[in-house]
């Protein structure tokens, strides 16, 4: 210790630091288990084993990149390397990856475990318990064979479903209501498809999920829950598209029940209804859920008043929860509606003129250019397959990926705002346009462009102020 201290004082601190670093480097490395890993990738599901993350945690990774039968080249290289350089552990995704039959799996396990190598699986289906495979009991062998066979059956089933998916065949299971299973695609069920069509029309007309479900039960005798009705409205199957297990949506795989413009209207109604109170979504009157008092910040509900022995009724807008000492008075519904239409005619064109809208035309042109590029790539895949550059499996996989990308681009295009917003503003600003609409049609237009209708009460008569959605 004194020698080190004298050396430090004599030659300075850098020499002592260098000496200490050299001493640390000379220490033996910490104990670490040497691990080799093996996995098998299917061409129909290349990300199932997450081999890239696995490669960062092991010393060596062996991957068979196709559905090969025995002998598997990378597996044979793993066995050869284990004879040359003995690892402490071999990690596999599942025990069934070591062969195409239980006998082949047992042979690989015996070759590894007889050399004292620990074999473990990532899914927990197997772990070496004995020094050699000969010490396993018959019950353990029978259970291991059953596990391997079950994994192989699951792999074959998943591969079959993947092949059907890539070939754009219907997914497994019962056909959705309104369709029947055909040989290569869904076909319309002539008895049930009209009921589904009427269900969508009822929702587009009134905007109520529960109301559309009740209509379907009352008129067609098909009883569904509101959650099922909402899934019908959002599901791509009724729009002529197929959605598969991997989340990919492929367009135009079968005959649709609703048109594209109707589907876009359904999506807009669902988005708008999420911002409204649940009870006002299906309300009969067009102003329900939109009017709010600027003084007490309370929503106004539509109240109907009748007189005894008279058929005439009166509609008023009353605050739901007025916190003022002197409660806000009710207002005649027809008067508010008339002032709202007049305010739309004056304010909506001005709001559209001042609105800094995104360049919809440029965005749409960019999406169309991408669609043209993907379509040209689809044609190129056919040419490469005819020239023998791509085999059938690779060509089908590429077509499936490109069709999914085309479906995403088409969905982005359908969600763009309209380009002719100025023309729409001129139409909505005309009083004659509103006079020819029914109450349900008027409700659709009001909820499409209006966020809130504020009632401003001052010493002078109350006024209407409109807050648009943009």
Dump pLDDT digits (tens) for 177-199: 999 998 889 999 999 999 999 99
Quick one: CA dihedral 242, 244, 246, 247, positive or negative?
Answer: positive
**Beta pairing partners, 58:** none
The yes-or-no verdict on residue 316 having pLDDT over 60 is yes
Residue 121 is inside which H or E element, if any?
strand 118-121
- State the pLDDT at residue 173: 85
Token digits of residue 148: 């391997």
Query: What's the whole-number mean pLDDT along residues 421-444?
Result: 75
- Which one-letter DSSP state was computed for residue 47? T
Token digits of residue 36: 């080799």
Contact residues for 124 (Cβ-Cβ < 8 A; gap 6+): none
Per-residue pLDDT of 324-343, as tens digits, reads 777 778 888 888 888 888 88
Q: By mean pLDDT, which of 27-31, 69-73, 446-450 is the weakest?
A: 27-31
Percent of the chain topping pLDDT 90: 18
**35-164, what's its fold?**
Rossmann fold (3.40.50)
- Which one-letter DSSP state was computed for residue 42? B
Give the C-alpha separation, 76 to 231, whole Å.
Answer: 49
The yes-or-no verdict on residue 217 having pLDDT over 80 is yes
Give the pLDDT band of residue 415 (cuts 50, 70, 90). confident
Per-residue pLDDT of 256-283, as tens digits, reads 999 988 888 888 888 877 777 666 666 6
Percent of the chain topping pLDDT 70: 84
Q: What share of the chain is helix, strand, coil (3-state, %, to 5)?
A: 50, 15, 35
Average pLDDT over the chain reads 80
- State the pLDDT at residue 77: 92
- State the pLDDT at residue 317: 83
Query: What's the whole-number mean pLDDT along residues 49-66?
Result: 76
* Integer Rg of the chain from CA: 35
Query: What's the whole-number mean pLDDT along residues 203-219?
Result: 88
Per-residue pLDDT of 92-143, as tens digits, reads 988 988 888 889 899 899 889 888 889 998 888 888 875 444 566 788 888 8
Give the pLDDT band of residue 34 (cuts 50, 70, 90). confident
**179-274, what's its fold?**
Hect, E3 ligase catalytic domain fold (3.90.1750)
What is the side-by-side order of every strand in the sheet holding 300-306?
300-306, 313-319, 331-332
Domain boundary assignment for the chain: 1-30, 35-164, 179-274, 283-357+421-468, 360-414
Contact residues for 353 (Cβ-Cβ < 8 A; gap 6+): 422, 425
Most confident of 3-7, 93-97, 236-240: 236-240
């Amino acid at each position: 210790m004194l020698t080190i201290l004298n050396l430090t004082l004599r030659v300075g601190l850098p020499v002592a630091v260098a000496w200490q670093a050299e001493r640390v480097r000379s220490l033996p490395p910490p104990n670490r288990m040497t691990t080799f890993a093996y996995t098998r990738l299917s061409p129909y599901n290349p990300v199932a084993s997450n081999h890239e993350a696995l490669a960062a945690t092991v010393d060596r990774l062996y991957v068979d990149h196709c559905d090969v039968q025995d002998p598997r080249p990378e597996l044979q290289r793993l066995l050869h390397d284990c004879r040359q350089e003995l690892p402490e552990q071999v990690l596999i995704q599942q025990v069934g990856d070591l062969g195409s039959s239980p006998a082949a799996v047992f042979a690989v396990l015996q070759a590894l475990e007889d050399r004292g190598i620990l074999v473990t699986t990532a899914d927990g289906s197997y772990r070496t318990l004995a020094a050699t495979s000969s010490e396993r009991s018959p019950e353990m062998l029978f259970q291991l064979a059953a596990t391997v066979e079950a994994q192989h059956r699951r792999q074959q089933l998943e591969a079959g479903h993947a092949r059907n998916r890539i070939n754009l065949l219907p997914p497994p299971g019962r056909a959705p209501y309104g369709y029947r299973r055909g040989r290569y695609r869904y076909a319309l069920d002539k008895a049930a498809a009209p009921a589904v069509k009427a269900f969508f029309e009822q929702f587009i007309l009134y905007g109520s999920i529960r109301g559309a479900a009740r209509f379907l039960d009352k008129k067609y005798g098909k009883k569904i829950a509101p959650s099922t009705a909402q899934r019908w409205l959002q599901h791509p199957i009724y729009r002529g598209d197929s959605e598969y297990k991997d989340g990919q949506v492929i367009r135009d795989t079968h005959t649709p029940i609703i048109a594209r413009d109707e589907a876009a209207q359904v999506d807009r109604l669902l988005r708008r209804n999420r911002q409204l109170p649940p009870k006002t979504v299906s309300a009969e009157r067009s102003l329900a859920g939109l009017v709010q008092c600027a003084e007490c910040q309370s929503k106004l509900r539509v109240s109907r008043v009748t007189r005894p022995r008279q058929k005439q009724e009166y509609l008023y807008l009353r605050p739901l929860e007025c916190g003022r000492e002197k409660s806000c008075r009710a207002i005649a519904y027809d008067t508010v509606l008339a002032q709202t239409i007049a305010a739309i005619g004056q304010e909506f064109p001005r709001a559209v003129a001042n609105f800094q809208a995104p360049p919809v035309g440029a965005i749409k042109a960019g999406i169309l250019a991408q669609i043209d590029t993907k379509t040209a790539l689809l044609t190129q895949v056919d040419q490469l397959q005819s020239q023998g550059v791509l085999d059938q499996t690779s060509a089908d996989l590429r077509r499936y990926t490109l069709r999914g990308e085309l479906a995403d681009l088409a969905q982005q295009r359908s969600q763009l705002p309209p380009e002719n917003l100025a023309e729409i503003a001129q139409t909505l600003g005309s009083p004659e346009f509103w006079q020819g609409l029914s109450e349900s049609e008027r409700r659709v237009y009001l909820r499409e462009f209006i966020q809130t209708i504020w009632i401003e009460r001052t010493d002078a008569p109350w006024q209407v102020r409109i807050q648009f959605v943009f």
